[in-house]
Structure 1
């Protein structure tokens, strides 16, 4: 029973706890959650918006706003509200308020939140100055406002828009006053301020506005610092915002102490005025009246009235026959230092028709080229300098002449112009006739020749003087007017006399037979030449009518001073004599030397020796040349010696066995003779210096045929000098090694091979050696080689051409042996050094028909020359190879 009662107790307790859980859970679900303002917010805008969360299945919501924590007094209350936000204007600044919300679910009890508190932000500052809606305010303004408790800063905004977008001032200050300079005339500015505490700021104050004063006019004309202003002046300016009338002052001093104009209450935007003086600086300023305001005076503008109009003088009005290039003149303008001139195709002087323009003209005249021929021209002048600009003169008009002709020939600056010449020019435009002048000065102050009424465009004239500078010019006559003179062309008449060329002036040592030379004169028909031994030409001689510009003058006296000159003869007369040159003859001609030694075609001459020749008459020294060719071309001359005082020359260092040619010329102070006919000679050869190497029989070879034994050795340099009788080999064969028993001796061996027939015994050992020789002597003996003859006679095929070659040759590293066989067979290949020792051997090579190629490894052989021998059967071929690494 007791157990049963305990069980009922615990069951009841569990049911109660479950019921309480259900109630609490339901309460938590049905009550909204307050969102904003958050609990404890202390800077809430008075125009607050209260927000909470939605509750599932809620039919409506309830809220209460109060100044009491127990909500005993109600500012705002709604117990049947459908939304989750509500806006409410809280009545006071810096005041604590409370709010809570609840929800109602049908069939369930209403649930409320515990409630939140908030404090509204402080009140904004109050603007104290300037007063609202002020007008005619200066740009610089000081703004003040009341203090906000606990404020650390204030923010002020100034704008030309009532909604403060955009702002012209948006800044923070620490006090309750701030000064700013506004910058627009007749403009309404709005301003407001708010306070800023730590973590909170007030709303902006109620804005105020002020309107700045009206501005002075923006003056247009006359522009500031303008010059050249006419006396009839029109002051102009654009309408100024807010303006009702304008005041304008004009003075001749910048301080406006002497007012020439003081016009008030002008209702228009312009004012005419007649300035009293030319070239005078004036000052003007303005101010605006409007909206019960008077602006400050504008900055003063200054302007200077123009110089008075210049008076044009020449060319006068309606004048005709004025040259295209003419002088414009005018009267001076008082105070002006420079002038501007212009000429035009039309009286309007518009752009594109100006034909002449000149500025910065000092003085009262200018030369003008209007470039218009036979046309009407208009021109004006005015003062125009760095200080001021004047009024244009009255327009003058005139008519130009025709254009000056163009000179065609002679070309300007021509020289060597013939005395008889044709002058030619070309008319531009209409021409009735021409007027021509020739002068010797470029300003034509003295006229040498003049002709008028020339109908054509050419004129033949004959000039009076040779070698003279002339100038000529032409002008055109058309419609009763002469044109300007053409450009003056200059030319120089032909020199007439030639320029002396040879002998040059003051030249010495001239030959007694001398070829005189002078420059050609283009018009010359002939020349006259004179010689004299005195500079006055008292005792003169020479020739007339020389047809060329050169003559051979013979038989002059040696060591004599001569003077000479030349003149030309042409169709218009005889020229003056040329300038006088002088020259000294020398000692006269010298003979060509006669060569003595070496005799022509001599041979075997030593490389060092003496050349000699016979002395030449009148020679003081000799020049000698040695060459390798008969032509003595520059590249062939190996030695050239000058100023040899003797008739002999010691030569050295000529090459052996070489042909040379030598020749000699004699020299004195006046001349050098031709070279002698050359002698040819040959130097002696150098004796052989190399040893021959045995090719066959090689040292120690056996079974050598004894009836017909072939000997072969390597070639020795300088044993083939062209004549068999002058070079060759000496061969010795002996049964004894010291060659005391000489079997065979033949000094006259001219090849590297020889056959000895029927001289040797059977089965006998022989020794052999050879040496080269030539005209200069014998070379060294070769090494001694031995061989043994065969028991019985046999026939050998001997030397044969297998087309054997070693590739490459010289050998650096690897090489190939190449040879051809008519039929396959066994081949032996041997390399022998210069001592006759076999240093490389390939035996029983299996050779095939046609080309055979075998690699050779000769790494063990040192650099040098070697013999090789290729043999098959009784046939063999030998040759030479070089190893060079």
Structure 2
């Protein structure tokens, strides 16, 4: 076998001559080896006249049957054999190109007949468009979809011995469009605040180039599909809408790379807002009631749309300018601090929920009994609502427990000790604590 390292190879065409040298240990350096395959770029030449090889031993071989776009095996005896067909080289549209026409011209660096495939999938498993018999350029038999990324490849057509496929390139017709997006909040049929936060998934791209994604989101009234609110060309994945309470709505979103694009909307997401809390119906004391205890229990009707509590106000003025205000989780409010005897009080209740503050109820009034049922020194506790009493000493030891109506009979059994503390309870709630007078 002859040594070929260092051989000089001349390729002659009508447009010029090109030379390369076979690398190896002769020119590649000590203890190294480089590929012995030479690649020649011949510009616009469409044929090879001859290939002349000068071997290191001075032998000159001329090869006249070398063809373009192929790998040829040049033997040292001057013959050409083992032709290997290369794949054509893709030129245009360039790899990862965007803004390509929907009727593109596909260009390859070849003058031979080629087969071209275009697909929306990189493995060419679906939506394949094929073109046969093309040469350096080719057009497709149908327009391509705007905003879609396509993949294309080519190979030489040489009977049954077709070349391998070229590398796969991709391009996008028009501006690349992101994949779809879906609503994440509210959940389907969720009941939400009228200040409704709508959120959605972040869209992604299949294309190599990934422009900024813009989103459109809109709210429709479910009953007639009328658009009542919307936000457009926003880059975030959430937006807050101020909607009407107690209404049924539909939300939808779409993603786009161009603020003027009109891609398809996502699937509907149905939800409704909380109804405004209704006006509360008062129950007791009845309106205008008199002779009420100085620690009355205020009650009203509970409502299913109230889920953030009830606000109770009572005052000696029906303007509630100096009202005492309390928040209750249920529909009962025992007034712990004693009211003034023989005084008319006004009261009202409001229910709150996620929709905000409800309307105030009607204003009712009641009048307390004319004299205090708990005497100044705390020796009488008949106020009409208390049920039980407990007496403790200064160490917290229980000295006496009984029913309120038995107090006058039982108090004589208490030891004569200073600083005795009495607790009065009503329906399990402590309504008052005070020191008993020293005997």
Q: Tell me the TM-score normalized by structure 1.
A: 0.18
Task: Give the structure with the higher percent strand.
Answer: 1
Query: Which structure exhibits the higher relative contact order, with contacts defined as CA atoms closer than 8 Å and separated by 6 or more residues?
Result: 2
Q: Tell me the TM-score normalized by structure 2.
A: 0.32
